[in-house]
């Protein structure tokens, strides 16, 4: 069996990647290395966690000794690295936590991978990154693989730093790597601090929908299962030392997206048309809020034959249905410390 370590496999995107790999590649042993922070939840993997080719390891990637022990134990041929602190608002409150996990954590993984392999033939370190490293677009243009890095939030700066470390290990030590920079994901199992699941949860509970600033910010949305399919393709067929942008060809201003979401929610909950929109509440803007993200994903489309498999309306429908059917999951993940975080978040709005 080929050993593949997937870090952050209990999180949102990671759990979809682990599921795809466990089901599709019985000849791989998938080692899910996750520290189970507030964002990591083994419930996300209940359907595959008894599979013979799946193993869970509780590891903090910031702890170099623990990472070394993990790599000594499994001698992985491949690493797919998703573990991170991922929420921009949290990075504004606690930037150093992002520096530690996203930069130091990534460097620890690179070091261990380099240490256990004297021969890199057939090995691959795949780093999952974000389009936020490119900064903000104006009204025109798209992020390309050649766009200069220009991160604005502590989160995006930490992801940019980690991308640079991966490249530097490739250049300096010949470590085989590939990097992808993806746009905003949505779908099942996303922690309800991010826009779409937060608003679904608030609409169900008839709580205010906190729109930052005037809501006139643009994001490019991609259904998470399509991101996992892209990760599978890049891991197996991507060229060494290359970057691929991944996006949904699907730009929405926050306000327009929220209106579509509200309409679908009214229909699904059997509420009067317009009742969810009445929950929209304008709150203080996010500091350093990037105006617009949009990805040019033609490289991965052209070279690897990837494209999204669902439309936004379909993906959003699947997502809403999942949250409505999994209220217990929502309740579990939003109990405890999340309540305090959420209260503090809007204390000064
Ligand atoms: P998430 O916050 O849902 O999950 C992160 C996972 O990492 C959790 O399971 C958590 O327990 C784990 N983790 C955090 N710190 C750890 C540590 N010190 N050691 C081990 N595990 C740790 O994140 P996500 O939204 O699934 O994002 C996954 C990756 O994809 C991240 O690297 C993120 O930067 C990137 N990304 C996310 C998006 C998006 O829209 N969500 C878009 C592009 C790229
Ligand atoms: O672009 C990829 C990135 O997308 C990922 O790298 C990040 O991990 C992921 O969190 C996401 O970052 P964003 O900051 O774009 O996502 P978020 O869901 O936090 O916000 C989306 C937009 O909605 C953004 O313009 C801020 C706005 N927003 C968000 C929240 C949570 C609101 O107006 N109100 C809110 O309550």
Distance between Cα 195 and ligand 2 center (Å):
6
pLDDT, residue 341, reads 66
CB count within 10 Å of CB 85 equals 23
Name the percent of the chain in helix, strand, coil, to the closest 5: 45, 20, 35
pLDDT, residue 335, reads 84
Backbone dihedral region for residue 2 (phi beyond 0: left; psi -120 to 50: alpha; all else: beta): beta
**131 counts as catalytic:** yes
**Residue 99 is encoded by which pair of tokens?**
């520096």
Whether residue 297 contacts residue 246, with contact meaning beta carbons closer than 8 Å, is answered with: yes
Of 34, 60, 131, 145, which residue is the catalytic one? 131
Q: Confirm or reject: Cβ of 292 under 6 Å from ligand 2.
A: no
Residue nearest to atom 10 of ligand 2 (CA): 87
Helix (H, G, I), strand (E, B) or coil at 4: strand
- HSE-CB at 99 with a 13 A cutoff on CA atoms is 6
Residue 270 lies in a domain: no
Residue 54 lies in a domain: yes
pLDDT, residue 347, reads 62
CA 158 to chain centre: 14
Domain residue limits at 106? 2-189+221-250+292-310
Is pTM beyond 0.95? Reply is yes
Residue 17 lies in a domain: yes
Nearest-angstrom CA–CA distance, 161 and 56: 28
Q: Confirm or reject: Cβ of 228 under 6 Å from ligand 1.
A: no
Q: What is the DSSP letter of 40?
A: -
Nearest-angstrom CA–CA distance, 14 and 235: 14
Q: How far is CA 276 from CA 62, 144, 209, 241, 287, in A?
A: 42, 36, 9, 47, 27
Residue 207 lies in a domain: no
- Of all helices (H) and strands (E), which one includes residue 316? helix 312-325
**Which phi and psi (to 5°) does residue 112 adopt?**
-65, -40
Residue 126 lies in a domain: yes
Helix (H, G, I), strand (E, B) or coil at 323: helix
- Of all helices (H) and strands (E), which one includes residue 220? strand 218-223
pLDDT in tens, the chain (349 residues): 899 999 999 999 999 999 999 999 999 999 999 999 999 999 999 999 999 999 999 999 999 999 999 999 999 999 999 999 999 999 999 999 999 999 999 999 999 999 999 999 999 999 999 999 999 999 999 999 999 999 999 999 999 999 999 999 999 999 999 999 999 999 999 999 999 999 999 999 999 999 999 999 999 999 999 999 999 999 999 999 999 999 999 999 999 999 999 999 999 999 999 999 999 999 999 999 999 999 999 999 999 999 999 999 999 999 999 999 999 999 889 887 666 666 676 665 5
Whether residue 197 contacts residue 316, with contact meaning beta carbons closer than 8 Å, is answered with: no
Q: How many domains does the chain have?
A: 1
| Ligand 1 probe mutation, 82, 185, 226, most atoms within 8 A of CB | 82
pLDDT, residue 281, reads 98
Residue 206 lies in a domain: no
Residue 92 lies in a domain: yes
Residue 273 lies in a domain: no
**132 counts as catalytic:** yes
Q: Confirm or reject: Cβ of 251 under 6 Å from ligand 2.
A: no
The CATH number of whichever domain residue 113 belongs to comes to 3.40.50.720
Distance between Cα 242 and ligand 1 center (Å):
22
Nearest-angstrom CA–CA distance, 21 and 232: 8
- What is the position in ligand 1's atom list of the atom closest to the CA of 132? 43
Q: Confirm or reject: Cβ of 4 under 6 Å from ligand 1.
A: no
The sign one gets for the Cα dihedral 227, 166, 38, 96 is negative
Q: Confirm or reject: Cβ of 228 under 6 Å from ligand 2.
A: no
**Residue 236 is encoded by which pair of tokens?**
């197996």
């Amino acid at each position: 069996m080929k050993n593949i370590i997937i870090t952050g496999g209990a999180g949102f995107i990671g759990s979809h990647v682990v599921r795809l790999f466990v089901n599709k590649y019985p000849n791989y042993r998938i080692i899910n290395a996750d520290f189970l922070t507030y964002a990591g939840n083994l419930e996300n993997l209940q359907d595959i966690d008894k599979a013979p080719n799946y193993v869970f390891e509780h590891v903090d990637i910031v702890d170099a000794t623990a990472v070394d022990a993990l790599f000594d134990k499994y001698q992985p041929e491949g690493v797919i690295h998703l573990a991170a602190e991922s929420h921009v608002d949290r990075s504004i409150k606690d930037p150093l936590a992002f520096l530690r996990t996203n930069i130091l954590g990534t460097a620890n993984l690179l070091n261990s991978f380099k240490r256990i392999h004297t021969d890199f033939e057939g090995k691959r370190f795949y780093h999952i990154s974000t389009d936020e490293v490119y900064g903000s677009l104006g009204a025109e243009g798209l992020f390309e693989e050649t766009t200069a890095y220009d991160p604005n939030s502590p989160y995006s700066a930490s992801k940019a730093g980690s991308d640079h470390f991966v490249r530097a290990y490739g250049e300096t030590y010949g470590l085989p790597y590939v990097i992808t920079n993806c746009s905003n994901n949505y779908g099942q199992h996303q922690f309800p601090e991010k826009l779409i699941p937060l608003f679904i949860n608030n609409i169900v509970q008839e709580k205010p929908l906190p729109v930052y600033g005037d809501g006139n910010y643009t994001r490019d949305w991609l259904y998470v299962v399509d991101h996992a399919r892209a990760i599978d393709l890049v891991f197996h067929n991507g060229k060494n030392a290359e970057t691929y942008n991944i996006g949904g060809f699907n730009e929405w201003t926050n306000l327009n997206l929220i209106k579509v979401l509200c309409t679908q929610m009214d229909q699904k909950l059997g509420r009067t048309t317009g009742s969810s929109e009445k929950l929209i509440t304008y709150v203080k803007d996010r500091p350093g809020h990037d105006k617009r993200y949009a990805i040019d994903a033609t490289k991965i489309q052209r070279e690897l034959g990837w494209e999204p498999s669902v439309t936004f309306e379909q993906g959003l429908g699947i997502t809403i249905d999942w949250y409505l059917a999994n209220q217990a999951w929502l309740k579990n993940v939003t109990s405890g410390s999340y309540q305090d975080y959420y209260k503090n978040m809007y204390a000064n709005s």
